[in-house]
Chains A and B, each alone.
Chain A
Amino acid sequence: MKRLSLTPYVIWMVLFTVVPMLLVLYYAFTVPTEGGTTWSLENFTRFFQPIYLRVFIRSLNLAVISTLICLLLGYPAAMIMAGNAFKRKHVIMLLFVVPMWMNFLLRTYAWLTILERNGFLNSLLTFFSLPRVNILYTNGAVVLGMVYNFLPFMVLPIYSVLSKIDKGVVEAAGDLGANPFQVFIKVILPLSLPGVVSGITMVFMPAMTTFVISRLLGGGQFTLIGNLIEQQFLVVGDWGFGSAISVVMIVVILLSMAVMSFFEGEEKDVALW
């Protein structure tokens, strides 16, 4: 009877998760020929052409930069929020999460309003008689959009690890003669590493694969790997190549997760393959 309750889900899972993934693999490893398809690695070899590699490198680059900025901004924020600078911590945390509840597209769109030529930023600059800037449709704008959208993914895991650290441990370190800087380096940082690791993963992954942010704020000139996939499916119609890029991306992400969980060094609840 209890097993019976699993049946609808198992069927669903096979139909809508497993089969689609197999289809992606199938398309990635085949090319159309006259009268059918044959197995081939051609889609992958194509990906290693310079123009596509450059897209890949650019995506990697922007994702790494965004992740780093999120880490640099987010770690201190998480630490302050986990500390005793505020009396009503949960209210602060709530305020922190509220913007995340806005539709992702609207949030990204909001930056258009700010960054465009006659937008809020330039009005402000004009008001103070400063020179205007044009950062919309640049790499900078894309990174800004990523940081804005993904910063909470960095802060929250770090915050939750930091707030679980036993105060006694910190005090004990101080008691044993460590100065505040040493306490941070030798105690707090290592203890918060799991949070940092999951924060990095949670920012890097969507940053690496987004196509919306780059499309809206990068204005379509700065194609990232997500845009490349989108184009293959919705514009070019080359599903084989699109699937191959997706497979490469999954591999990159699985690899980075494996590396990360190696650093984390501790058994996680989430079983990866």
Chain B
Amino acid sequence: MVRWLKRSYIYLIFAFLYLPIAVLMVYSLNDARSRGMWGGFTLRWYVELFQDRTIMNSLYATLIIGVSSALIATVIGTMAAIGIHNTRGVPKKLIMNVTYLPVLNPEIVTAISLMLLFVFSRMRFGYITLLLSHITFNVPYVILSVLPKLRQLNKHLYEAALDLGCTPLQALWKVIIPEIMPGIITGLLLAFTLSIDDFVVSFFTTGSGVSTLSITVYSMARRGINPKINALSTIMFTFVLALLIIVNVRQAREERKERNGRRVPKKDSPYDPRFGSA
């Protein structure tokens, strides 16, 4: 009985969480002029969506920025994590504190501070400023995904590689990097999704006609409802869902492997609730 009550409560919360998404999905297939009514099934909004130059351009920009900022942030962040892992004392504390700064700062503060920087250095607002900003807020998350992997590493692994004839660089490349690869990939995915999801920082650091999806949605939404956005939401949600399932299957496999391998238990991943669910 009590159990039934408990479950109902959770289902209610789920209803609250999923209702807006479901409504969007249904409306994206609705052919009615008046949006409150059901006017029959249509794929018209999807067709229009793909014909909309603004939306398509911003989708393109979002993906370009997402992929390139995630890749660059992953390289910088992984190198940084390895460096931080081998640093001690005050320098380490200092670097970690500054690393947490963009994570803890309100987004809008990060956004305006970067905007000031670009104004101050007389950069032209556009792709480059956008890319630099995205890399900046992504790097800390990559570092925070890679560091726990480094901490779990058997600390003699690097020495074992040297012992077997590797130069320090080879040891890093042939042993350390492959061993922490799961953390690097998590960091890469996290960076990519954060970049895709970002609105605030992009809004303040873009210019000269470059617009990400979030920015386009924002300006459309300010003018009221637009069924094309419904179609876009549906597509993105489905895509994200597919991605999520892949990631979860991968993670489950990884965990099974770790359990068999009697390795050190996993440390908490950096705090993004979407990744902290495991």
Contact = CB atoms under 8 A, between A and B. Distances in A.
A and B, direct touch (CB closer than 8 Å): yes
Given A6-B80, A102-B237, A153-B273, A123 B37 contact: yes
Contact of B83 (A5, A17, A206, A226): A5
A109 B217 contact: yes
Interface stretch (A47-55, A169-177, A208-216): A208-216
Contacts of B152: none
A136 to B, nearest CB: 10
A257 B249 CA distance: 36
B36 A119 contact: yes
Interface in B83-123: 83-84, 86-87, 93, 95-102, 104-110, 112-117, 120
A92 B10 contact: yes
Nearest to A232: B112
Nearest to B2: A85
A255 interface: no
A111 B20 contact: yes
Contacts of B105: 250
Which residue, of A6, A86, A118, has the highest number of chain B Cβ atoms within 10 A? A6
B246 interface: no
Nearest to B14: A95
Interface stretch (B45-53, B178-186, B222-230, B256-264): B222-230
B95 A10 contact: yes
B229 A1 contact: no
B21 A239 contact: no
Contact of B117 (A16, A92, A234): A16
A12 interface: yes
Interface string A35-72: 00000000000000000000000000000000000000
Contacts, number: 245
Given A23-B113, A209-B106, A97 B13 contact: no
Given A83-B6, A96-B17, A109-B229, A273 B97 contact: yes
A235 interface: no
A109 B8 CA distance: 27
Shortest beta-carbon contacts, A-B, top 5:
A6-B83, A110-B20, A9-B80, A20-B113, A123-B36
Interface of A: 1-10, 12-13, 15-21, 23-24, 27, 73, 76-77, 80-81, 83, 85-86, 90, 92-114, 116, 118-120, 122-123, 126, 148, 151-153, 156, 160, 202, 205-206, 208-209, 211-212, 215-216, 226, 229-230, 233-234, 239, 242-243, 246, 249-250, 253, 257, 270-273
Interface of B: 3, 6-7, 9-10, 13-14, 16-21, 23-24, 27, 34-37, 76-77, 79-80, 82-84, 86-87, 93, 95-102, 104-110, 112-117, 120, 132-133, 135-136, 139, 143, 168-169, 193, 196-197, 199-200, 204, 213-214, 217-218, 221-222, 224-225, 229-230, 232-233, 236-237, 240-241, 244, 248, 271, 273-274, 276-278
Given A16-B132, A103-B217, A106-B217, 7 more contacts: A4-B83, A24-B109, A85-B6, A99-B18, A103-B214, A120-B23, A230-B108
